[in-house]
Structure 1
Amino acid sequence: MAGDDNRSAVPSPTTVLYVDDERSNRIVFEHAFNKHFDLVTAASASEALTILETSSIGVLVTDQRMPGMTGNQLLMEVKERWPGVVRIVITAYSDFDALLQAVNDGLVARYIVKPWEREELLEVLRWACEVHLVGARDAMIRERLLKTERLAMLGTVADAAMHDMSQPLVALLNNSEALVRYTRSFPLLGDLLRLHGQLLPRAQRQELRTIIRDLPELATDLFDAAKVASAISKQFKGLFREEHQVEAREADPVRVVDHALAVARPQLPSGARGRYVGPDLLPPVALAPTDLFRVLANLIINAAEALSSSPRRGGIIEVDARVDETMVELVVRDDGPGMSPEAMAKATKEYFTTRAEGTGLGLTQCRRIVEGSGGTMAIESVEGEGTTVTVRVPRSERVTSPPARRDAS
């Protein structure tokens, strides 16, 4: 269905194509924007593709949920066949996974959340038309504009996600802290079990021994993970709202490695093992504990995923450490399948990932954090032999006491 030809304003030189399977939505869209743009509408993705094949379209606006072909599927085909078209999706927060995929895959330049507001969408459409006209003259400038907008979109999505996560994180933090307190009574429970355990069936006695032995460590891991998640959430919220909460820039690397290995344990494939092989005592580094954890957890989990993709069973992830006068060097190595030279060249580029569910931001974040502290990060990989990531961060002078040793296995 095409828009009304009797427009009261000079039409834009860029044609906007709006795709929605609901007729009422198309009528409302036309009524809101027909006077501002050269507007064409389509009732399905297949109709939209026919219009794109026969008309010069500059901006595509599509609904996400449509029968036959979804908004993301349409956006993917348009990206491949008409890369110069500026693409926008209209979606609901319930479609968060599809929205995140669209942003990660570079399918959209902007997104609009239902129910849209006329003035907001009008400004987005004007921006999209301008970007299309700029791109017609200079494709490089257009790509820079779209990349900047994509980063802004990721920030907006992350802000919404952090907001939705804040209450569950508070509950997780409080409850895991309470669980740690409760486990402090476990030595007494152990004594009671030794004195009166014969009153219980053997299987129940064994189950209680296992709980008394393992639950304190599991509770501590859970509480540590909740504190890290809460700190990251506060960092993000402070970034978006310009309310920066500064965490102390000093971390005990051995304790952080220990926690990162514990968090990575569930990611290890069957038969694989992760372990720390460095010194039990290291000087603190000039990096916030949350940031150092993000770096190490990313690297160790990446290594675990590499082992999972290996054709052979098991595998080893080792974290080693060395110290010189000014730096602490942390080395994460695995004996997985390694990376090809092509993958190595793109490994730390934004949005590059070899996993369908990945965002391609993990290694980019690691490098940003490390280099922001005055350190360096280097990656070496040989196909068929494995990958080694070396992180060097500035050291502090205070010496810390060694933690209890734990492996991820």
Structure 2
Amino acid sequence: MPDKLTNLNLLSDNTEIQTKSKKTSSILYVDDEESNLRIFKSSFRRHYSIFTAISGKEGLEILENNNIQLVISDQKMPEMTGVEFLERVAENFPNTVRIILTAYSDTEDIMRAINKCGIFRYLVKPWNKDEMLLTIDKALETYSLRTENRQLVKALKSANEDLEGKVKERTSELMATNEDLKKAKEQAEAATKTKEQFLSTMSHEIRTPLNAIIGMTHLLKNDRLEGEMAENIEILEFSAQNLLSLINSVLDISKMEAGKMAFEQAEFDLPILIQNTVEIFKARAEEKNIFLRSNIDKNIPKSLLGDSTRLSQILNNLIGNAIKFTDEGTVTITVRLLHHKTEKVELLFAISDTGIGISSEKINSIFEDFSQAEEDTSRKYGGTGLGLAITKQLVELQGGTINVMSTMMVGSTFSFQLGFKIGKIQAITANLPDATNIKNLKGVRILIVEDNKVNQILVRKFLNNWGASSQIAENGQIALDLFKKDNFDVVLMDLQMPVMDGYESARQMRLLEENTDKFTPIIALTASTLLNERERIIQVGMNDFLSKPFNPNELYKKIAQHSYTQLQNQVLQESEIKGKLNYSYFKNLAGADKDFYTELLELSEADLIEFNRILESTHLLDYETQLSLVHHKIRATLRLLEVKELEVQINQLRRMLSQGSPINQVTDRIQAIQKNIEMAISEIQEERK
């Protein structure tokens, strides 16, 4: 009987451990930037009990007085680094699971943390909320398993020495299972990384020559060729675009499988989007004597908020298929308003054709990867069978549904429903086609950083045609040397280069500009497709990116946009930041959690209000010190919101104070900064509504 009671108690204890709620788990997050502490606490306080510390010393005090299961520490901290802090934790609190936050380049720190601190895992900053949540859950699961093992061993030893063998056996099984899970996890991560790296490498190798092919076809078409030569150029361009479409389809599938397909939220004009889409397919339809028409409900608001690029991709796939599988008759694009609420509309899109149709046996499988309606479809009409699979996922990932109705030799209708928020702008010109082909970049000085000779020639030809002056650097080091000697309005930066890559070159350019009025726009030109590429580009200080092969019109728009901003920076004292805040980082961090997004905006607003209060307190004896402290506090906020002009102005003010500039100049600068801060606060308040 005692043995049975003991077993029941053990089962009860074990069940209690497994059913413990997340909220009872305590996490300590250590970082010397207060804004990072607030963001972390806001992100996870609904899931766990969060403790924060601004230094390793403060973190050790919290560990002494609280039961902490997991410690997450930043590496780069003054007085005591993350590795030094975790070494103390490992020595004094060995049961606590340890995670370190570091950068890609800190290999030695990572190895030291693994060897001396016994870390559970390292994460690269800036961290992703979903990845961090998954890592925390796995770490706490490890902590629970360790706790469970200790309790089981203690209980079994005290109950009966004869059970010692079973304890060892149980422990061994758990360790083996844990090791198997660890190996399986490592293998899965390695396989995913290998697949991602392979796709990126292959895409890079294909896109680089493809960029030259497509670029040269654009240049040749501008030469107004006629006859057979013009037809040959058309065939070349069509083939290159098909190859690019195939590459993009494979990469889209990869992103969807990894759960990293992102959707933008920007205003667009739906009628113009439909009009532009019809124009794209007009020539192809005319070649087959097909009548292509559109019918848009006039009750649909002109301005909508959503991802116009992905909507165009969906429509292009469906309209392209309709024309491909129709030999005569009509292809019709219809858009109907289903529901109209105060801030949102639900729309029905339908693409109908009079083509070959789909058999009832195949209609349920056409949305599967690499699937075709009939076995000989690919041979007769071409295609990979990826278009409809991608289309279905793009619709469903945005909360919509897609359906198909078809009759053999009569035609098919593909329809999908999507919801959009109603935009605030009544007349949108961003999506309008250029009214003229004249492009003028006269006076704009551009540094082209590119190791590929063909791409150098290609980009330079476009820039010469647009009137811009340019210099070429064959790698990041040469670019850096030129950057030190000369002033450029824009830098076009390739990423993968010998000697010094684009990431390191851009990072060092930003270091050279630190504490100066200079902020040169850097646009990344990349053939890489790694899913974290965009975050890394922004992290090192680049402003924007353009994927290879690029469209010349897109290249022109990027340069024009950023060179205009650069010219405006010459009159920063009178500049205003109204309309220039970028909320994309906060939106990506919050995901679908609207309350959390609002909270991030409120924290940013509070930081700016606090800075404004100190800015006004010129009577303080330690005014420069107080201003420096609060500037350090809001620096992360300014960086995340991309308020670059305001950051430059604050640096100017601090230099003026340190150099003892005349009081009237200091006062004018303070007033200019206050005006911009008030505009920023007003914009954030408007965004919160």
TM-score range, shorter chain: 0.3 to 0.5
Of the two, which has the highest radius of gyration? 2
TM-score (norm 1): 0.36
Bigger proportion of residues as helix = 2
